[in-house]
A and B are shown apart, each in its own frame.
Chain A
Amino acid sequence: MSGNPSPSPPASPEIDDDTKTVIGIAFGNTTSSIAYTTPDGKAEVIANEEGDRQIPSVLSWVGSEEYHGTQAKSHLVRNAKNTVAYFRDFLGKKYSEIDPTNSHNSAHPVDIDGVPSFNLQQADDETVSTASINEIATRHLIRLRDSASDFLGRKVTGAVITVPTDFSDSQREALVAAAKAGELEVLQIIHEPVAAVLAYAARQTPEEQSVDKNILVADLGGTRCDAAVVASRGGMYTILATAHDYGLGGLKLDEVLVDHFSKEFIKKHKVDPRSERSLAKLRLEAEGTKRTLSLGTSGTISIESLADGYDFHSTVNRLRYELSAKKVFDQIVSLVENVVKKAELDLLDIGEVILSGGTSHTPKIASRIAALFPASVPVNAPATLTTSLNPSELSARGAAIQASLIAEFDKEDIEQSTHPAVTVTPHLSHPIGVVIGEDDSFQTMLEAQTAVPARRIAQFDVRATGDVIVRICEGIREIVIEKVERQVNGEKDEDDSEDEEDEAGGEEEERNRVLKVHKVIAEAAVKGVKKGGKVEVTINVGSDLGLNVAARVIGTQIGVRGEVRPEAGSA
């Protein structure tokens, strides 16, 4: 083989440096996550150097040493003044607009020319320097990017970042600028509820993805809770309504446990452990206990030298905890009910519930929300569905999936695709369907809130040989309340004394969602169909609300085509 040099130098088959490595980042107030997509298209959340998949959004400085994540979080006890936490929501806001409530236990923001900033000791000598919120966010994003780069072994170039639905334009700009300062290109910013929906959609087949339904996404975080109703129509997502509660979240549940344990400590030792430092310790440990309680029926806490040198060991059972936290649960449930109301929908219109965010691990919250909906509606939370994904990872996974979808796009492509000219589209105000069956019931083909242009195909059976009619209608959704005689046996009646009061008279209200014909749009006659044949109906709604209908008998040439012109100026 030697002495046989090939005439041309070998082409370089090495991976060229231009290949894009993109990740998804869920940048939260309390924790952040990073995710990537494997070559077979699955999203995986990356653990950082410390092995955390939920990386606390906390940065801390001791001298010139910078700590991040869990390490930084533990500094909230010893080094609170040099530790920045819960800062995401400050980004892109003026000092006058921020709510620094959650920062009372860490470095407090100060007003520097209207920009929220922090006075921190970031050098080995004791000088205090000022870091603006943008610099803090940049540091945080750099640490996340580096963790991902270390894990993947390639330099991460771009990312899709998730934000809450109420993130303003200036906040988005600030986020993009902060990422750019850290040499991270933001490919796209997507909303957290949509990312959660995407995370679940990614494990479905394209057919399953295209099923039309209204999805309720409750994002229960550490410092705030957000809820959104997302209409999924043919795999496209439209946010119908959002609701936010900035005081509600996992921290409130921690508070409940902190209160509980404080009282117990006072009872035991006659010392109030609610001094600043003891509280910080309690908070840190109570969070761990809360996590244990999400998995088991009892949780322990043990803190050395909590106050006055007394060690503290205690146990709390789940029932006790759930009773104490009932108020918080009630608020979360009402937030969920509220958002459905805001979307001008009924609870029965919701086809799927996704619980996202760390607080969703709490079993009681999942079961309380599941109780709002019929049993047929899947509630994706660890406590209610064993097939559910880890709710803490949903945003990051969704972002990673979106990142992999647009990784090959040019910047211009992304900009054009996300331009309002593309995203703002007419949505059907009423469902469109076909009248079927002996009882002339309404079969929906296009749900209300479907973005047009849209196309749906359905196959209908034909029972008897002869001619059939395809009646295209607009429908209307009604909630029918029926009084149903309660059928209970005597034994159960005694147990459920609580329920009895609600349903005086022994009658139960049963609410049902019924679709009725609102307006007939068009009729098509398909003649000469054999028994057992199938008729395929294609409805194509144009962006001008023009309707194209084609009905065709499968396997034959028989078919009808028709067009309904739009009303002038309706679209």
Chain B
Amino acid sequence: MASVKISKPLPALPGDWNSKSNFIVHSPLSAAVHRNLSPAGPHFLAHARRKRHSRTFSEDDRIQAQQNVMSVEDEDTGEISEAESPLLLSRDPKDWKNQDHYAVLGLSKYRYKATDEQIKKAHRKKVLKHHPDKKAALGAVDDDSFFKCIQKAMEVLSDPVKRRQFDSVDEGANRDPPSKKSKGNFYKGWGPVFESESRFSRKQPVPRLGDDKSTKAEVEEFYNFWYNFDSWRTFEYLDEEVPDDNENRDQKRYIQRKNNASRAKRKTEDTARLRKLVDDALSLDTRIKKFREEEKKLRNAKKDAREAEEKRLAEEARIKAQEDQKRKEEEEARQKAQKADSKKAKEAAKNAVKKNRRVLKSSVKDVNYFVSGDVTPAVIDSVLGEVDLVISKIDNEDLQTLAKNLSGVKGTDAVKSTWAEAVGELVKKGSAKAEDFKVFVA
């Protein structure tokens, strides 16, 4: 903390100062007021830091100073510290077109990825190291060729347009695709190739090659992207120098035309090269085959399922038809049987009725038509007439019971009373009239 300079002087020590100590305490400070500090501003943050770590002012000053030193050191080391090969150091600055600017600045591991900040820092560092003044001070020969290389590298890399032109032809950033026969991992071999190619894409971000687990959509997107690749790569950097004299205009124009033609040619070649690269990758990509097989399987699976379904349905229909047929036949047989049965029953019933009638008729005949001695035809007629009347009126059930009753009883009176009973029943039912009967009267 800076001290405040106060121009007014301190008063002289009064003569009556008689204390042995040089410091006398009179009274403590007055009580303080508690207030809320506004938590803003650099000084508050320093206060908060001291309070949280319970440091005193001098402790905090020391720790902060240490941290500052450390951060400065951190900045100095790291990143840009590549070894400079003697070959690089002895480069001819006139041959700057063939110079690897990134290597000159010690950024060969970053290349097109180096940020402006990194380039600036690297340049500053190289300049400090290789400045001709410094070399002269060390007593070395007056050699500033590498310094010129550094300046040229900076000139190219600090200008975004020139940097792009150089990046376009920067061989050091290229990755050669693995040979077709190599057995290595497809993704490991081709991944870096596409990554280095992707630096030329106008569209960012570029889809990645991915791996075995990539979905079909991802893979398709990847190849679609690369087949429709929009490249900013230019080949101006390789242009032949255009002579800068006004005298030979034709020559100048000729070279310019030549340059344009060669740029166009290189661009076409580059597009074709990339196309072939993608073709190669596509042909080697096992995923495509895998997807095709899966698709086929899927399609086949569908077809199989459909056929199975059809088969199943046909089988079901067949079984159903069989069952129907069977049921029908059974039904018919049953109906036939029923018909036969009913015919039999009817005949039986008819026979029974006939038999009962016979019983009825014979019952009166057995008891000699309720007369003792000879029977006159008239009596027979009247009795049989009444019997017929009963038979015609009586229903089958009563007829059966009557026949049963008659066959069970013996003797004229019993037969007669049975008949009278039956007639009574009939009269009661209202199917016959009492006055029609003369013999069967109780």
Chain A residue contacts of B103, Cβ below 8 A: 1
Chain B residue contacts of A12, Cβ below 8 A: 113
B283 to chain A: closest CB distance in Å?
A: 23
Q: Considering only CB atoms, which chain B residue lies closest to A423 in the complex?
A: B37
Alpha-carbon gap, A210 to B304, bound state (A): 86
Alpha-carbon gap, A384 to B192, bound state (A): 64
Query: Given A2-B176, A416-B52, A470-B10, does the pair A236, B115 have CB atoms closer than 8 Å?
Result: no
Query: Given A520-B27, A560-B22, does the pair A571, B32 have CB atoms closer than 8 Å?
Result: yes
A540 touches B57 (CB 8 A): yes
| A62 contacts B by Cβ under 8 Å | no
Query: Given A426-B34, A429-B30, does the pair A469, B14 have CB atoms closer than 8 Å?
Result: yes
B12 touches A469 (CB 8 A): yes
B12 touches A524 (CB 8 A): no
Name which of A13, A416, A563 has the most chain B CB atoms within 10 A of its CB. Answer: A13
The contact size tier of chain B is 35 or more
| B6 contacts A by Cβ under 8 Å | yes
Chain A residue contacts of B39, Cβ below 8 A: 188, 190, 417-418, 422-423
| A98 contacts B by Cβ under 8 Å | no
Chain A residue contacts of B2, Cβ below 8 A: 206-207, 210, 457
Query: Given A405-B42, A562-B25, does the pair A459, B1 have CB atoms closer than 8 Å?
Result: no
| A456 contacts B by Cβ under 8 Å | yes
Alpha-carbon gap, A449 to B51, bound state (A): 18
A467 touches B13 (CB 8 A): yes
Which A191-214 residues sit within 8 Å CB-CB of chain B?
Answer: 191, 194-195, 197-198, 201, 206-207, 209-210
Chain A residue contacts of B170, Cβ below 8 A: 1
Chain B residue contacts of A426, Cβ below 8 A: 32-34
B12 to chain A: closest CB distance in Å?
A: 6
B57 touches A467 (CB 8 A): no
Chain A residue contacts of B22, Cβ below 8 A: 524-527, 560, 562
Q: Considering only CB atoms, which chain B residue lies closest to A402 in the complex?
A: B40
Which B354-400 residues sit within 8 Å CB-CB of chain A?
Answer: none
The number of A-B residue pairs with CB atoms under 8 Å apart is 270
Alpha-carbon gap, A12 to B205, bound state (A): 15
Q: Considering only CB atoms, which chain B residue lies closest to A523 in the complex?
A: B24
Q: Considering only CB atoms, which chain A residue lies closest to B15 in the complex?
A: A467
A452 touches B32 (CB 8 A): yes
A468 touches B12 (CB 8 A): yes
Query: Given A422-B52, A566-B28, does the pair A239, B36 have CB atoms closer than 8 Å?
Result: yes
B9 touches A198 (CB 8 A): no
Alpha-carbon gap, A536 to B5, bound state (A): 9
A396 to chain B: closest CB distance in Å?
A: 14
| B47 contacts A by Cβ under 8 Å | yes
A466 touches B12 (CB 8 A): yes
Which residue of the partner chain, among B13, B28, B41, B100, contacts A201 with CB atoms under 8 Å? B41
A37 to chain B: closest CB distance in Å?
A: 13
A191 touches B38 (CB 8 A): yes
| A453 contacts B by Cβ under 8 Å | yes
Query: Given A469-B17, A521-B27, A523-B24, does the pair A463, B9 have CB atoms closer than 8 Å?
Result: yes
A458 touches B50 (CB 8 A): no
B8 touches A11 (CB 8 A): no
Name which of B39, B57, B171 has the most chain A CB atoms within 10 A of its CB. Answer: B39
A570 touches B29 (CB 8 A): yes
Which B151-208 residues sit within 8 Å CB-CB of chain A?
Answer: 170-172, 174-176, 192
Name which of B38, B118, B172, B192 has the most chain A CB atoms within 10 A of its CB. Answer: B38
Query: Given A417-B52, A467-B12, A525-B22, does the pair A1, B32 have CB atoms closer than 8 Å?
Result: no
Chain B residue contacts of A2, Cβ below 8 A: 171-172, 174, 176
| B4 contacts A by Cβ under 8 Å | yes
Contact with A along B95-128 (1 / 0, CB 8 A): 0000010010000111101110010000000000
Alpha-carbon gap, A210 to B43, bound state (A): 9
Chain B residue contacts of A119, Cβ below 8 A: none
A427 touches B32 (CB 8 A): yes
Known: A457-B4, A459-B6, A470-B10. 6 other contacts (CB 8 A): A416-B48, A418-B48, A422-B48, A521-B29, A560-B23, A562-B25
The 4 A-B residue pairs with the shortest CB-CB distance in the complex, in nearest-first order: A235-B43, A562-B23, A426-B32, A457-B3
Q: Can you list 18 contacts pairing A with B, beta carbon distance less than 8 Å?
A: A1-B171, A234-B1, A236-B37, A237-B44, A239-B36, A417-B52, A427-B33, A428-B29, A441-B8, A453-B56, A468-B9, A519-B26, A521-B29, A524-B23, A540-B57, A560-B23, A562-B22, A565-B25
